[in-house]
Chain A
Amino acid sequence: MSAPALVTRGLSKSFGSLAVARDIELSLPVGARYALIGPNGAGKTTLINLMTGMLTPDAGQIVLGEQDITALEPQDRVRRGLARTFQINTLFPGLNALEAVTLAVAERRRLAGQFWRTIGADSETIDEAYEILRKLRLGDDCYQVTRELPYGRQRLLEIALALATKPKVLLLDEPAAGVPQEESGDIFEVVASLSDDLTLLFIEHDMHVVFRFATHIIVLVSGAIFAQGSPAEISADSGVREVYLGKRHHG
């Protein structure tokens, strides 16, 4: 059995007296499709922020492949293959989709420091960017400035930017957040079509989507792992029903 793609050991974080992550032990096998669920405020986004380095943990370790990345800057984690998307669109509003993804590809290829050559001359970088956009069905809209793209397309661009970094592990923070239910399936179809080598962890509230696309579910409550297991195990778990699934019927 090969080494897991991403591991966290004893990851903890508190804001004052509020513990937002308590001793989190996770292991994502290569090619996994894991869902991270839990009630609002359970610390799901916080966990992604800790893993990607946007927050510094108080204790614990994060290991990507075989390398301890706990002390690395966020951009250095990305360069080693750990990418994320954001729950609230975090795009480049004034760039069009082609420019934004070309920028991400150029950064990955370490070309973005070059100021003496024209970007239009670099066909390899541009073709790679366009290929990503085309795969995510953004090819026809790629000259439109991001702030004018329909919201659903912007959600796809979130994923396109992350893919441009050629990640080994991709953390998706509610990829279909704010998208009408009929369209959220489209976004997850795209997610499901991603390469099998890519290890995925996604946060999602819609249980239909979770049970359809996840091979494994992690339930987070009050900053701690409450339960984890296969979709069948989780749906049969009475504790999970009570703290999480049960609540959905009220609201």
Chain B
Amino acid sequence: MASTAPALTPQAYLQGLSRWHPLEIAFWLATLLPFVLFPSYLSLASQIAITALFALSLDLILGYAGVVSLGHAAFFGIGAYSAGLFSKFVWGEAFSGLLVGAALAGIAGYATSFIICRFRHLTLIMITLGLGLLAFEVANSAHWLTGGSDGLQGVHILPLFGVFKFDLYGYTAYSYALAALFIVFLGMRRLVNSPFGLALRGIRENLVRMPAIGAASRAHIRKAYTIAAIVAGIAGAILTQTTESAALESISFQRSADVLVMLVLGGAGRLYGGLIGAIIFLIARDQFSGIAPQYWYFWIGILLVTVVLVLPNGILGGLSRIYARWRRP
């Protein structure tokens, strides 16, 4: 029997799952390339980093816990507006604004999580859609506070550490957004490899079995949803701070739908899927809108349908399958 024992001990096997792959290191090094190769595209790069952070947040609830949301922009928007209002009325320092945006989005996430944790599937899609629309109309109608459809004006952010100004070139913006993305990513990576991350995957794989192993699934979902809201709030706050404005678009249904598309394109439930999806989506938008600005969703539509039909686990899921086949010929 000894000869048939697995080569790895169970602990070594589980540790191996969370080890850094060389491709991951290559990916993060490549995120530095825009500084050198595309300095004129740094503001696009910063948009991508912010959107990737937002997609990472959706991946935690959708990709890991299987909680679908069509209203995730509510938390992005809350982060965006609260960071903007904080800078306008309290203080223009960036990090404290970021914390305020994260905290308020987290509170909103925690409050709504009590509803979210009770439902699945279509019901959940409708509830999150409804809550998202609700948040949009609140922002729209509170013209005195948010500026409504004119957007929030008069946001001014002080230089980072008192030195680095948010200028038109986007050096500071991209550095700030990328640093935030990387730090949150490290936390997320730790989370998905933790006992809690395993429990979320258990919820995704079989919600019925969870109580039968003594798991309080609803408490897990509430916690994950709150964390996701905080991360979405951080992303929204950074958008406001780097663009020095907040618009209704940040809390719109379009943003909720776009981030879902990015995550599905890239591949949900593997952290990098949302990042890859955001890169492809925003670069495609940038390129296609140069050709035919009104119709660029035509191409995204084709891409989405193709990916879903050919690669059910997204682009990253397809790539990892090819990679696995190539390693074991």
Contact = CB atoms under 8 A, between A and B. Distances in A.
Interface of A: 52-54, 73-75, 78-79, 83-84, 86, 90-95, 98-100, 102-104, 106-108, 111-123, 125-127, 129-130, 139-140, 142-143, 161-162, 164-165
25 contacts: A73-B211, A75-B211, A78-B213, A95-B201, A95-B205, A99-B14, A102-B14, A102-B198, A103-B199, A103-B201, A112-B195, A115-B196, A115-B227, A117-B195, A118-B18, A118-B193, A118-B194, A119-B14, A119-B18, A120-B11, A123-B11, A126-B11, A139-B5, A142-B6, A164-B213
A178 B190 CA distance: 40
A104 B10 contact: no
Contact of B214 (A79, A93, A98, A115): A79
A140 B213 contact: no
B209 A161 contact: yes
A94 B205 contact: yes
Given A93-B205, A118-B18, A84 B212 contact: yes
Interface string B192-224: 011111110110111011111111110110010
Contact of B193 (A84, A120, A123): A120
A164 B213 CA distance: 8
B72 to A, nearest CB: 20
Given A75-B210, A120-B14, A140 B5 contact: yes
B10 A117 contact: no
A75 B202 contact: no
Contacts of A123: 11
Contact of A75 (B14, B195, B216, B223): B216
B191 to A, nearest CB: 4
B294 interface: no
A165 B196 contact: no
Contacts of B13: 98, 143
Given A74-B211, A90-B209, A143-B6, A115 B11 contact: no
B314 to A, nearest CB: 15
Interface string B1-28: 0001110101101111110000000000
A107 B4 CA distance: 30
B214 A75 contact: yes
Contact of B212 (A90, A121, A130, A140): A90
A11 B175 CA distance: 65
A92 B14 contact: no
Q: Which 6 A-B pairs have the closest CB atoms?
A: A120-B15, A78-B214, A92-B205, A115-B196, A74-B211, A120-B14
A52 B212 contact: yes
B206 A112 contact: no
Nearest to A74: B211
Given A113-B223, A115-B196, A126-B11, A93 B206 contact: yes
Contacts of A102: 14, 198
A107 B15 contact: no
A7 B206 CA distance: 29
| Among A86, A91, A100: residue with most chain B CB under 10 A | A100
A100 B215 CA distance: 12
B5 A100 contact: no
